[in-house]
């Protein structure tokens, strides 16, 4: 936890990450501040990068993305020497929701959404497997989602 955050900041961040549509007045009332100091704190937290963005989280299934796939990608030795090319290519694929660099037997873990398995198959063969440097891809289809959250465990 960042040392410059006090209890008011932590409570504000917890409320904002739970529901970013709350007004400054609502947040101020919930944390016990008046509106102006609460607004200044929110601005400071945004300026300092604690709040990266305020977005609407869409339900992927209601939007028609019924398949969620976790793909482990291993690069060849030459692919590892050109990590920038791989990361640039991955950033261009809207199907890739998350991409992480891993330590271990594989180099990257991707979370990919697709309308269905056939759509993922097209993405796999037409895009992902054609990224220069890719040696191996192991795909795992998620059957159900037990927990998915964007909330950090802020101690308040």
Burial class (CB in 10 A: 0-12, 13-18, 19+), 107: buried
- Domain co-membership, 42 together with 75: no
pLDDT of residue 57: 94
* Predicted confidence (pLDDT) at residue 14 exceeds the cutoff of 80: yes
Per-residue model confidence as pLDDT tens digits over 18-49: 999 999 999 999 999 999 999 999 999 999 99
Output the domain CATH number for residue 23.
1.10.10.10
Per-residue model confidence as pLDDT tens digits over 134-150: 999 999 999 999 999 99
Separation of CA 86 from chain center? 18
- Domain co-membership, 72 together with 121: yes
Q: Is residue 128 part of a domain?
A: yes
Number of structural domains the chain divides into: 2
Q: Is residue 147 part of a domain?
A: no
Cα(43)–Cα(49) distance, rounded to whole angstroms?
A: 10
> Does the pTM of the predicted model rise above 0.75?
yes
Token pair listed for 126: 């037409």
- Domain of 24? 7-47
pLDDT of residue 2: 76
Of 119, 116, 120, give the one whose Cα is nearest residue 139. 120
- Domain co-membership, 35 together with 92: no
């Amino acid at each position: 936890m960042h040392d410059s955050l006090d209890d008011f900041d932590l409570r504000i961040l917890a409320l904002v990450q739970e529901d970013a549509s709350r007004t400054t007045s609502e947040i101020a009332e919930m944390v016990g501040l008046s509106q102006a100091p609460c607004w200044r704190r929110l601005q400071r937290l945004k300026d300092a990068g604690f709040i990266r963005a305020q977005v609407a989280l869409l339900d992927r299934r209601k939007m028609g993305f019924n398949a969620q796939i976790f793909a482990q990608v291993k690069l060849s030795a030459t692919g590892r020497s050109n990590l920038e090319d791989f990361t640039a290519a991955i950033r261009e694929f809207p199907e890739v929701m998350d991409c992480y660099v891993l330590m271990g037997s594989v180099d990257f873990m991707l979370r990919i959404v697709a309308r269905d398995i056939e759509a993922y198959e097209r993405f796999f063969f037409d895009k992902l497997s054609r990224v220069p440097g890719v040696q191996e891809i192991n795909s795992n289809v998620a059957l159900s989602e037990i927990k998915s959250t964007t909330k950090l465990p802020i101690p308040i």
